[in-house]
Amino acid sequence: MSANYLMDDIEELKTIVASVTSERLQKDLRHLLATKEAALAQAQQAQPRPVAAPKPAVVTSAASAPVSNDNIVYTEISTFAWDDEGYGKPKVTVYITSGIDGVGSLPSDHITCDFTTRSFDLKIKDLNGKNYRLVRYNLDKDIVPNKSKFVAKKNRVTITLTKADDKNTWMNLTAKSAAPAAKPNTSDPSAGIMDMMKNMYDEGDDEMKRTIAKAWSESRNKNPGGADVGGLGGL
């Protein structure tokens, strides 16, 4: 399975795990999530790595590299802005200007940003005793990893993504699913989760189908009066 499809699966699984209340179902889904993340790391390692360009004094360029799995605890950077220069323009820019005061004074090895053709992963380590991270998978369009870069100054970080095709205009920073989940039934609080799981079952590989079918079956056994699971291939 390609890295792009794996990224889509990972994002959907994270959404479902956050919504599920059953501990047993969460455990099964987290196991599947870990499997998908491991497969993604292998797929990204198989991609050829471009040679990194020499680093200017205030700009650090990162070669294409898989997102690392480390044991450091990060605080997610949730406030940022982005801008597409427009049709025929080569760059999309991401701005982080809040909550990282003093970032420009950190040693260069405390700030890294890994790029792939459809993702970036910014990590800021030991800033006022905390670690920060902004990672986005499944970007709206392809980028050129070895031409993408970031700059850290006083209280801000600017990430520059170089478009693979400058004739593309980005409507969102990350791409929307090609087959969005059906609109949930607002009269039933569990309908949204059910619809997402049915969509993931229909589109997933054999391992995903087995995990979801098992979790769904256990849920039915505990709640015989629950919703029909005919949408899961009759399992």
| 86 occurs within a structural domain | yes
Residues 6+ apart with CB under 8 A from 96: 77, 79, 80, 122, 134, 156, 157, 158, 159
**Domain extent for 203:** 3-42+179-222
Closest CA to 148 of 137, 140, 158: 158
Query: Residue 171: inside a domain, yes or no?
Result: no
| 149 occurs within a structural domain | yes
Q: Is 71 inside any structural domain?
A: yes
Q: Which of 130, 162, 194 is the last residue of a domain?
A: 162
Residue 174 falls inside a structural domain: no
Structure confidence by residue, pLDDT tens digits, 122-179: 999 999 999 999 999 999 999 999 999 999 999 999 999 999 998 888 888 998 765 5
- With respect to residue 229, please indicate whether it lies within any of the assigned structural domains: no
* pTM greater than 0.75: no
Residue 169 maps to a domain? no
Q: Which residues are paired to 142 by β-bridges?
A: none
200 lies in some domain? yes
pLDDT 10s digits, 75-117: 999 899 999 987 788 999 999 999 999 999 999 999 999 999 9
- Overall domain count for the chain: 2
Same domain (yes/no): 109, 157: yes
Whether 58 and 152 map to the same domain: the answer is: yes
The answer to whether the beta carbons of residues 74 and 135 sit under 8 Å apart is no
- 68 & 144 share domain: yes
